[in-house]
């Protein structure tokens, strides 16, 4: 028998009524009805006129002493969190007699609560028209209720967790409709947090310019593929950048049931990236493109020029003597000059011109869409004219001279590297031949540049493999050929034991590092030979050493030479320094004078080589500590063919004794030259007539024989 069958008139028929009083009680329920109630497994309470009868299941569950209880006793067994709500529902139902259901926790006799579904059914009290009798059935739903509430808690936790995220998180249907969206998503897409009107088309919420990307992403995700796309949205004056990731949620059958869409606000990251890009592509000081951006621009320009069959002009610009400005006026002055030049270059640019600063005092200009080299030269003239205007800093005038090397695509080169190389070659050629103005690239320059590079590479190999060897050419008294000294000349020996002259690596002597390294090795080997000859007891004569102009540029030549002399214990009077006349009129001559005076004080001799070929020769003799004049071989070789040259040689030969200077003629190759030199009073000489430059072991033999 079901409890649903025990209601209405059926229930009443099972109840005894009190004759005469009209009262009915739970105790008046028929015996058969009570037996039927007690057989039911779930809890049942029958209430009439406020008195209740609980079946055996309810009695055993709650642990009450009697099956006859007041309805209020049931309230006592409910969980405190459920009791008040149940009471309110019950009070309302008492008046209306309306059926109701309510899940509540009922306390078991051991104190533990379990969830039950309470279903209350009413039927009219036949003896009291304004009252209802009630049958309350309590079905155990604990496991389902607990699981349901755990699920609800989990959903709330997940929802809270999603709301905590700053990402815009949405759950979409496979056709792109929003079924759930977190707080950040509502704010970002709907403008307010509390709006949760789901079911709208997600694509309609996107900016028009990225809807097509969004549509493709949804299609891809619906097919089970992870997909991603970027986009931006504009709100008022603000621009927001979003990174959208769509991940399909797939069931056991492999069907996409929903799509998880995570949209991340990457605005700050994009702003930082843009700032980084600006700093990586543009020069902080001038605001011009830097080397990286310049190469990218040139690469793009060449691509377009190939397509359009046009030409490109390129300039490398170098400020003349910029280091001197920094050294004398300070780096702020140098920075000021660079900024001024940048503004002037921009002023000369048009829509086809791109200006960049490569670093230091180096600038570059690209001229695109050229129809002829005239387009390039017109801009060059504008730049040079702009640069004629004076630049001042703190009331001081700054020299802003510049040198420009130019190359043209495709005439000179067909790629970025080649074009840059050609422009750089033209610039270096201009600086080697005198600064200022501009120089267009010529193929001959590249051959010269490649030769220079090869010489420098060879020089480094010579140093690395210790292939330098001093050779000695004797200086003789012209009357009797007796040896009065040697000139140490640099030679180097290759892998095939062939001897080479320094002319094969002449560019090394324009490089401070290489020139000073060559000098150091030569000094060490010369002094080793001198030390050996002295130890052998030979009558050692002075040895002259050639000094290249660049060796004096660091103002420490004398100190380095003196340290090496001391290292080998070489007497100062056995060493003579040979310098060319040109060195005394070049930049840095003050360093030369200081070094020569210091060496002269210590007892070293100073010889002026190639005398008569430089400028202001007499001034040099008056102002500098010179001990010996060397008549250049160019005069000696022509003195018997040209009277004017013979007169010059005679003049130098007679000048020596007047100034208490020795005079040595170079390049004597014939007896006729020897006799002519003796005739004009020249006392000393050297040349092939007496001996070529020879290795140390042969020089030692000459020292023993004392004649050449």
- DSSP-assigned states of every residue in 186-219: IIIIISSTT------BGGGGS-GGGHHHHHHHHH
Residue-averaged pLDDT of the chain: 85
Share of the chain above pLDDT 70, in %: 87
Of the listed ranges 268-282, 290-304, 461-475, the one predicted with least confidence = 268-282
Sign of the alpha-carbon dihedral angle for 688, 693, 694, 696: positive
602-618 as b/e: b if 16+ CB within 10 A = eebbbbbbbbbebeebe
Residue 499, pLDDT > 70, answer: yes
pLDDT of residue 689: 96
pLDDT of residue 628: 94
Element (H, E) at 577: strand 575-580
pLDDT of residue 184: 64
Query: Are the CB atoms for 102 and 86 separated by under 8 Å?
Result: yes
Q: For the chain, which residues make up each domain, given as ranges?
A: 3-146, 165-271, 286-441, 459-705
Residue 592 tokens, joined: 């030369």
Percent of the chain with pLDDT over 90: 46
CA 660 to chain centre: 66
Residue 147 confidence class, pLDDT cut points 50, 70, 90: confident
Give Cα 464 distance to the centre of its chain.
34
Q: What confidence tier does 620 reach under pLDDT thresholds 50, 70, 90?
A: low
Per-residue confidence band for 163, with pLDDT thresholds at 50, 70 and 90: low
The predicted pLDDT at position 448 comes to 85
CA angle 369, 370, 376 (to 5 degrees): 130
Tokens found for residue 123: 């039927």
Most confident of 370-384, 527-541, 579-593: 527-541
pLDDT at 527: 98
Indicate the burial class of 129 (C-beta count within 10 angstroms; 0-12, 13-18, 19 or more): exposed
User: What pLDDT score does 485 carry?
Assistant: 97
Q: What pLDDT band is residue 196 in, cutting at 50, 70 and 90?
A: low
Residue 25: per-residue pLDDT: 47
φ, ψ (nearest 5 deg) of residue 578: -105, 125
Domains 3-146 and 165-271 share a fold: yes
Q: Report pLDDT for 252.
A: 82
Compute and round to an integer the Cα radius of gyration of the chain. Answer: 54
Average pLDDT over residues 360-384: 91
What mean pLDDT comes out for the span 106-128?
87
| Inter-residue contact 36 to 56 (CB < 8 Å) | no
CATH superfamily of this structure's domain 165-271: PAS domain (3.30.450.20)
pLDDT of residue 8: 36
pLDDT at 183 over 70: yes
pTM score: 0.56
Higher local confidence (pLDDT), 504 or 390:
504
Sorting pLDDT into bands at 50, 70 and 90, what band is 610? confident
Supply angle C-alpha 690, 695, 697, rounded to 5: 100
The reported pLDDT for the residue numbered 21 is: 38
- Asked if the model's pLDDT at residue 192 lies above 60, the reply is no
- Residue 595 pLDDT more than 70? yes
Give me the pLDDT at residue 575, please. Answer: 97
pLDDT at 122 over 60: yes
pLDDT at 27 (0 to 100): 46
Q: What is the pLDDT of residue 559?
A: 96
d(CA 203, CA 211): 6
Residue that wins the pLDDT comparison between 418 and 159: 418
Region for residue 679 given its phi and psi (left: phi exceeds 0; alpha: psi -120 to 50; beta: otherwise)? alpha
Task: List Cβ neighbours of 10 (8 Å cut-off, separation of 6 or more).
Answer: none
3-146 CATH choice from 3.30.450.20, 3.40.109.10, 3.20.20.220, 1.10.1060.10: 3.30.450.20
Cα–Cα–Cα angle for 30, 33, 37, rounded to 5 degrees: 140
pLDDT at 141: 86
Pairwise CA distance, residues 405 & 313, whole Å: 11
Per-residue pLDDT band for 156 (boundaries 50, 70, 90) equals low
pLDDT score, position 469 = 97
Angle between helices 671-679 and 643-658 (to 10 degrees): 50
Calpha distance 169→261 (Å, rounded): 6
Least confident of 268-272, 291-295, 542-546, 675-679: 268-272
* Lowest-pLDDT choice from 31-40, 221-230, 421-430: 31-40
Q: Tens digit of pLDDT for each residue in 4-53? A: 333 333 333 343 333 333 344 444 677 778 888 888 888 998 887 777 88
Pick the CATH number of 459-705 from 2.60.40.3680, 3.40.50.300, 3.30.465.10, 3.20.20.450: 3.20.20.450
* E strand residue ranges, 597-654: 605-611, 628-631
Rounded (10°) angle between helices 512-535 and 443-464: 40
Which of 140, 144, 82, 137 lies closest to 116 in space, CA to CA?
A: 140
Closest CA to 611 of 631, 583, 640: 631
Homologous superfamily of domain range 286-441 = Reverse transcriptase/Diguanylate cyclase domain (3.30.70.270)
């Amino acid at each position: 028998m079901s409890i649903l069958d025990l209601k209405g008139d059926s229930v009443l028929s099972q109840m005894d009524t009190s004759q005469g009083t009209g009262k009915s009680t739970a105790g008046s329920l028929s015996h058969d009805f009570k037996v039927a109630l007690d057989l039911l497994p779930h809890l049942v309470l029958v209430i009439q006129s406020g008195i209740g009868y609980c079946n055996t299941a309810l009695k055993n569950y709650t642990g009450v002493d009697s099956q006859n209880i007041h309805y209020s006793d049931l309230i006592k067994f409910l969980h405190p969190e459920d009791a008040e709500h149940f009471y309110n529902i019950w009070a309302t139902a008492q008046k209306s007699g309306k059926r109701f259901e309510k899940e509540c926790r009922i306390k078991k006799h051991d104190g533990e609560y379990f969830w039950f579904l309470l279903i209350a059914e009413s039927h009219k009290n036949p003896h009291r028209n304004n009252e209802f009798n009630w049958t309350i059935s309590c079905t155990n739903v604990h496991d389902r209720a607990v699981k349901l509430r755990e699920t609800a808690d989990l959903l709330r936790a997940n929802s809270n967790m999603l709301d905590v995220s700053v990402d815009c998180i949405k759950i979409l249907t496979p056709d792109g409709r929003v079924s759930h969206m977190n707080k950040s998503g509502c704010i970002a897409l709907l403008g307010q947090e509390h709006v949760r009107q789901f079911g709208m088309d997600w694509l309609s919420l996107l900016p028009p310019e990225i809807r097509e990307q969004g549509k493709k992403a949804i299609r891809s995700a619906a097919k089970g593929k992870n997909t991603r796309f970027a986009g931006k949205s504009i709100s008022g004056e603000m621009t927001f950048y979003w990174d959208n990731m769509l991940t399909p949620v797939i069931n056991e059958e492999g069907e996409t049931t929903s799509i998880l869409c995570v949209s991340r606000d990457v605005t700050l990251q994009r702003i930082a990236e843009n700032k980084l890009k600006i700093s990586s592509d543009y020069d902080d000081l001038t605001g011009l493109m830097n080397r990286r951006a310049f190469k990218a621009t040139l690469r793009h320009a060449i691509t377009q020029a190939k397509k359009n069959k046009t030409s490109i002009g390129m300039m490398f610009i170098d400020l003349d003597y910029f280091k001197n400005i920094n050294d004398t006026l300070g780096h702020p002055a140098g920075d000021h000059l660079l900024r001024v030049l940048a503004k002037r270059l921009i002023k000369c640019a048009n829509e086809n011109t791109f200006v960049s600063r490569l670093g230091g005092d180096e600038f570059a200009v690209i001229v695109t869409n050229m129809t002829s080299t005239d387009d390039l030269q017109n801009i060059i003239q504008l730049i040079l004219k702009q640069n004629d205007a004076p630049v001042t800093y703190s009331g001081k005038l700054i020299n802003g001279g510049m040198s420009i090397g130019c190359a043209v695509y495709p005439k000179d080169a067909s790629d970025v590297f080649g074009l840059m190389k050609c422009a750089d070659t033209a610039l270096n050629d201009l600086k080697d031949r005198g600064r200022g103005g501009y120089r267009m690239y010529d193929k001959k320059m590249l051959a010269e540049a490649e030769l220079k590079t090869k010489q420098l590479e060879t020089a480094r190999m010579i140093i690395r493999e210790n292939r330098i060897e001093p050779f000695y050419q004797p200086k003789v008294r012209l009357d009797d050929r007796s040896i009065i000294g040697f000139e140490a000349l640099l030679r180097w020996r290759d892998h095939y034991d062939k001897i080479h002259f320094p002319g094969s690596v002449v560019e090394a002597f324009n490089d401070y590092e290489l020139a000073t390294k060559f000098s150091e090795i030569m000094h060490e080997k010369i002094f080793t030979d001198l030390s050996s000859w002295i130890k052998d007891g030979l009558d050692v004569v002075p040895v002259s050493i050639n000094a290249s102009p660049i060796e004096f540029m660091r103002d420490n030549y004398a100190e380095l030479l003196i340290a090496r002399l001391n290292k080998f214990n070489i007497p100062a009077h056995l060493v003579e320094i040979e310098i060319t006349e040109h060195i005394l009129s070049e930049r840095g001559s003050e360093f030369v004078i200081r070094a020569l005076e210091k060496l002269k004080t210590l007892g070293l001799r100073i010889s002026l080589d190639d005398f008569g070929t430089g400028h202001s020769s007499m001034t040099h003799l008056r102002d500098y500590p010179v001990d010996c004049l060397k008549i250049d071989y160019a005069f000696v070789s022509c003195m018997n063919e040209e009277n004017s040259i013979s007169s010059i040689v005679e003049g130098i030969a007679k000048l020596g004794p007047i100034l208490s200077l020795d005079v040595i003629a170079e390049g004597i190759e014939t007896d006729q030259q020897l006799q002519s030199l003796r005739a004009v009073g020249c006392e000393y000489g050297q040349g092939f007539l007496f001996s070529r430059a020879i290795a140390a072991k042969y020089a030692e033999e000459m020292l023993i024989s004392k004649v050449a």
